[in-house]
Structure 1
Amino acid sequence: MNHETAENRAPEPREPEPREPELGPGDARVCRRQPEELDEIQQSGRHPEYRVDLERVRFSPYFSRLSAVTQVISQAGASPLIHNRLTHSLKVTAVARTIAVAVDRTLVGSAPSLSGELAPGGCDAVVVQAAASAHDLGHPPFGHLGENVLNRIARETLGLADGFEGNAQTYRIVAALDVCDAAAAGLNLTAAVRAGLAKYPWTPALEGLGFDASPGGARDLAPSDLPPGLKRVGETVVARKYSAYFLEQDDLDQARASAPALPPWAQTLECSVMDIADDIAYSIHDVDDFYRAGILSQVAVAREFRGFIDNAAALRRLDTPELELGRTRDRAGESLEALRRKIHRDDPWIADDDAFEAAVRVVTEELVEGLLSTVFDGSIAAERRLSSFTSRWIAHFGRSVVAAPTGTPRTGLISLDRRAWHEVKVMKFVHKQFILNRPDVAMYQRGLSRVLVDLVSAFTEWLDDVHDQKRVPRRLIEMVELATAGYARLATTRPHLLEDTSGDALRRLGRGRGVIDYVASLSDGQAIAVAEALNGRTDRLWDIGQSL
């Protein structure tokens, strides 16, 4: 695979150590919601404030829990070598740190998008590590399936207008739910690290983003006018992704104030690095997992990719609507054509048919006709092939980071170059098209969705049971009380976000958010075991006790 083109060849890193931004005690980036003084040991070494944040994240029980939360497919159903949320987070952190060091040495200050005004602390590698380590803390049981199910329950059943979102749950954990001995609530992280977590730096209310998101106000906005995570529905803009619930909006605003020159929808530089590292890890490690598990069919993938390569011009002329392309899978290549059209619709700032076709060809060569042509049998030779494939692609993507163009909300302060950007899209297409859409995976996921529905229903009923309320798990009661207090504050500070500010309404919201917080904090195994116990089907009573 030859990726060393003039466009994506990054400058060689210089030898000197990364710049050390001079941060005074009043610097906005090191501010915490609750002031605290570091002890003598904590104050030693470089970046003391940020290293404390990194340690708080990694010593958190929410971080440990990620070892038992599904990434895409369960370890129990495949192999212990399959990625879980913890191993994914560790690898994102490793990739992110490498990119951060290179960006700070070679790019910061060299482009308008990376000026000291927009990136006031440069690209601090420790901030990036802390944000990358924490970025998936809020993922509920069963991966993205759990996220979608809890969002539907939160909105439609519990009346929570800000629903459930994994990124917002992460922010809620570090700001309110987790604990450390230095603060009354949350991990009390620095503003730089909290802002580094905000991939989608808004709440569902979309306040202050610089455009009219109300009905009729978005009439002229195309998908390319909107940052990732926002979409236009009719004549209204809605948040598909967001980094804070209404309860944490003030906390997020305070964190974002550490980079006041950034547009309100833009990620900080460290957040952009974390986001790109996450994309890289997803695109490569998902393929790693599916290859190991033996569920990525070389025949099916080859048919689609070869169909596109052989018929690209004819596919481009089809008048079939984008959403209908590939639905029946009768014509090979249609699903890739749908992806090509989606890129042009959403991201014209970087869309390029030559780059897309080149990406399809190199993925065909490296993955379809390369890695997948030999069945993974667990041998040393198979491990070597997989390791070579993974390390080669990660290194290539890491070398392909460039300063992003100005004038588009579709990217952060940095981006992958045109070729690598399209390659990531094509690699992620493999995962979505040939794994998530499989009927057997869908059937398994529907069963898991029932577990979450049953858990929320059972805990809500238990809280309402006047005859048995005293035996509700103490942690659930604490989470309800914390959420209720939060809604009471919101009724005073931002009452327009609540339809009803009466005491009964606030208690209902607090109960709903508390139940969602509690269920989302379980691991996959805990969720299944607790659901069985609540339905009277368990012989593991003492194991269940560890979940509560």
Structure 2
Amino acid sequence: MTPSPRTRRREAETETDRSLVADHETPFRRDLERIRFSPYFARLSAVTQVIGQSGAGPLVHNRLTHSLKVAAVARTIAVEVRDDLDAAPDLPPEYVCDPVVVQAAASAHDLGHPPFGHLGESVLDWIARDQLGLADGFEGNAQTYRIVARLDVCNGPAQGLNLTAATRSAIAKYPWTPAVSSHELPGDALPPGLRVRGDQRGAAGGGRELDVRKFSAYFLEAADLAEAREASHGLIPFQQSLEGSVMDIADDIAYSVHDIDDFHRAGVLGQGAVARELRGWIDGASALRRESADELAGRGAPAGSALELLRRKLRIDDPWIADDDVFAEAVRAVADDLVDGLLADEFDGSISSERALASFTSRWIRHLRESVVLAPRENPRTGLVTLEPLAWHEVEVLKFVHRHFVLGRPDITMYQRGLRRVLVRAVKGLLAWLDDDLDQAHVPLRLRELVEMATDGYLELARERPEGVPPIGAGETRKLGLGRGVLDYVASLSDSQAMAVSDAIDGRPDRLWDVGQRL
């Protein structure tokens, strides 16, 4: 089959890399294999997705099984998008989609998740900012980019996996650093992950102060991300590459559906509570709209209040697609299939309950996958592709079910408070060891290497400080290198390794041999 003009353009972009691989390989296939053969990728099998393993039936998802399913969904979407783009060759140059690039980005997207998932991310971010003086904190997406660009190794450069610009750009889900300025934004619409501080949301012009909550590169990797972005022709600032958008959508689809799968399997998603909230909103939508936000968030708020707050948030954050009628249709669709369907029968580990769960999952994955369309042009709130309005709202409602009925449970919160102490103890213990003149010679070699690598990076950053990066004072590079190196080390542990390191530092001899291989 003769390659389309769009496919030939993508191949031409990587022509200089072809001499590095065998004749039957391609640069993008090499990217995918380097990611999947990485120890950072294998580690994901021992990192929690949301909840721990259940006692009955097949295991629930971990970060590795999640990543594999995201990659599978992403490839299917990418093939369909590529075929649509090839049928429209007059589109601008940024409209290019290689399924292998998408697979590589999807496989890599969670590499930076620390032990205990999003909880670990928030704890390490607090430590980084408040205890270690790292202005860019800790962010899972930025840690992913740091791994592929700097921390992981392959048979080639001294640092990083030497991935193509296309794959690095696709991995950058939030393609900016914490140094982003409101003056750089192409209009008033803010990309996901950026917020306006205080009450400046409606302010005109570029004088707004931004709260950067999500980003895909630390200051140390800012130049590498900029280089990758420059090769993605035609993208407006802060806009994902098309291949990155496909990866992001596939992640949303898998996250929203497979987490419901896990919660039902583990028996933590009760039909009664979900039914009260969803049906309460459907039956009382008009009355709920007349309530103030404080009344909706207060104790004793009527059923449906949390869902009404979600509707209002979507209207504020995403007016380009949020629609009240479509939101109502999405709530009814989820209520009918989830409340009256899947949750109507308790999961008991039987083959019939497995079949019902598989039917629910495959039906929703297929529906959402087939709802991917080209997005409105030049809108930083979305990438170059998005979901049709109904599917977009359904994903938001499914994610709401996850957040509202599972993450806020007292038993899960109690467990997470304990996990916070595990990470704090590990970081502080390793920092104290590195600062111990009598015993620092016995610090694990890998940890010392990571500290040296980070310190060298901050020395270079101090010499060539890009615009927006906070100044690095004399003598600060060592301190910053220590902090970043320890975070790199702790973030590379599995859940059980993090617990073992924490216990060993605390003097528990029964966990000593659990950490021997890691150290």
TM-score category of the 2 structures, normalised to the smaller one: over 0.9
User: Which of residues 487, 493, 499 in structure 1 aligns to 2:471?
Assistant: 499
Equivalents in 2 of 1:107, 1:37: separation in Å? 28
User: Which of residues 179, 182, 186 in structure 2 aligns to 1:205?
Assistant: 179
1:197-346 paired onto structure 2 within 5 Å: 197-206=171-180, 210-211=184-185, 225-234=189-198, 235-321=208-294, 325-328=296-299, 330-346=301-317
Equivalents in 2 of 1:464, 1:78: separation in Å? 46
Structure 2 match to 1:541: 512
1:424-435 paired onto structure 2 within 5 Å: 424-435=395-406
Cα shift readout 1:185-244 (whole Å, capped 9, x = no counterpart): 0101000000000111000001597239xxxxxxxx86xx10001011124112100000
Structure 1: gaps of 5 or more residues: 1-14, 213-220
User: Which of residues 408, 419, 427 in structure 1 aligns to 2:390?
Assistant: 419
- Measured at CA, do residues 132 and 30 of structure 1 come closer, stay the same or move farther in structure 2, by a change above 3 Å? farther
Equivalents in 2 of 1:111, 1:402: separation in Å? 17
Structure 1 match to 2:492: 521
Verify: 1:84 aligned to 2:62, yes or no.
yes
Farther off after superposition, 270-279 or 177-186:
177-186
Equivalents in 2 of 1:326, 1:30: separation in Å? 57
Equivalents in 2 of 1:478, 1:353: separation in Å? 54
What is the deviation of 1:542? 2.3
Cα shift readout 1:75-111 (whole Å, capped 9, x = no counterpart): 2778761100000000000000000000111246649
User: Structure 2: which amino acid aligns with 1:82?
Assistant: V
Is contact 1:66-1:137 (8 Å) kept?
Answer: yes
Is contact 1:162-1:245 (8 Å) kept?
Answer: yes
What is the deviation of 1:38? 2.2
Cα shift readout 1:3-32 (whole Å, capped 9, x = no counterpart): xxxxxxxxxxxx9998872258872x577x
- Measured at CA, do residues 402 and 277 of structure 1 come closer, stay the same or move farther in structure 2, by a change above 3 Å? same
TM-score after normalising by structure 1: 0.89
Equivalents in 2 of 1:310, 1:268: separation in Å? 41
Cα shift readout 1:315-370 (whole Å, capped 9, x = no counterpart): 1121334xx52442531000010000001010111111111000110101000111
User: Which of residues 24, 33, 54 in structure 2 aligns to 1:44?
Assistant: 24
Is contact 2:92-2:234 (8 Å) kept?
Answer: no
Is contact 2:264-2:343 (8 Å) kept?
Answer: yes
Structure 1 match to 2:144: 170
Q: What RMSD in Å do the two structures reach over aligned CA positions?
A: 2.2
Is contact 1:401-1:415 (8 Å) kept?
Answer: yes
Cα shift readout 1:447-490 (whole Å, capped 9, x = no counterpart): 10111111110011111000100000110000000000000110
Cα shift readout 1:505-530 (whole Å, capped 9, x = no counterpart): 00000000000000000000000011
TM-score after normalising by structure 2: 0.94
Equivalents in 1 of 2:218, 2:174: separation in Å? 11
Equivalents in 2 of 1:19, 1:386: separation in Å? 43
Structure 1 match to 2:205: none
Structure 1 match to 2:103: 129
Task: Give 3-state SS (helix, strand or coil) of 1:44's partner.
Answer: coil
User: Structure 2: which amino acid aligns with 1:44?
Assistant: H
User: Which of residues 404, 409, 412 in structure 2 aligns to 1:441?
Assistant: 412
Aligned-pair identity (%): 60
- Measured at CA, do residues 248 and 357 of structure 1 come closer, stay the same or move farther in structure 2, by a change above 3 Å? same
What is the deviation of 1:183? 1.5
Paired residues, number:
509
